[in-house]
Structure 1
Amino acid sequence: MKITILISLVFLLNLQGCISVGKKFDQTKTTEIKTNITTQKDIIKIFGEPDSVGFSNNILIFEYLSITGSSLSLSGKRLYVVFNENNTVKEYSFYKMKDN
């Protein structure tokens, strides 16, 4: 019985490995984003290269993602930046994940 409990504890401890997705970014710097003024180059200077780049109806979208934690607790944040045709920010959204 003691061996079974010990094996179970070791197994559970192994499940708690740390994870990290994306790269950390400073969410307080979202205040520097000004629609129709901040450019694509400005966004890269502020936050670095995006974690993903996409297009919707030929409109450029940057995504910044940062998720950290373990199998028992995750936290994260996500920033979407949508650009106008002239490469200035059309709109942006910031989301923060709650801890489990």
Structure 2
Amino acid sequence: MSYGRTIIALFLLLWIWGCSIGRIYVGSELKHDPDEKIKTGVTTKSEILQVFGPPDRIQKQYDGDIFVYAYLRKNSSKFTIEEPYITNLTLFQYTRIQQKKDGLVILFDKDGVVKSYGFQKSTPELTTF
């Protein structure tokens, strides 16, 4: 193969493949550890709002409100080889998606005091690219 053909082949190869990396963040990351800031039967609704800010969702119930805080992280990487001019045919595609979520649910009684709460943190488990 001549030098010119090699250059053309490399140029065409680079022209028809692509790679993309993306990160998506939904919600606000919890800045404080709920186990340190929330005391069942003691912490009030106003204290929760001061520490964690407004919740992502509020559910009204007959015996008190429920605050829901959610933070989602999604990492994706994609590698594609395609013919972009005539057929737009995808020859090869590899996609890797990782998604983790942190969640905090706080149940209040009728007086606005924390009755119970649940917390799950899994976003630190995401691997880097």
Superposed pair shares fold, TM > 0.5: yes
C-alpha deviation, 1:23, in angstroms: 0.6
- Please say which structure displays the higher CA radius of gyration: 2
C-alpha deviation, 1:55, in angstroms: 2.3
Equivalence map 1:45-84=2 (5 Å): 45-71=50-76, 72-84=97-109
RMSD of the TM alignment (CA)? Answer: 2.4
Say which structure is richer in strand. Answer: 2
Say which structure is richer in helix. Answer: 1
CA distance in 2, matches of 1:24, 1:93: 16
C-alpha deviation, 1:36, in angstroms: 1.2
Which residue identity lines up with residue 74 of structure 1 in the other structure?
Q
Question: Where has structure 1 moved over 6 Å in runs of 4 or more?
Answer: none
Sequence identity, in percent?
A: 27
C-alpha deviation, 1:83, in angstroms: 0.1
CA distance in 2, matches of 1:23, 1:95: 14
The question of whether the paired residues in 2 share the 8 Å contact of 1:50 and 1:64 is answered with yes
1:87 aligns with 2:128: no
- Structure 1: gaps of 5 or more residues: none
1:17 maps to 22
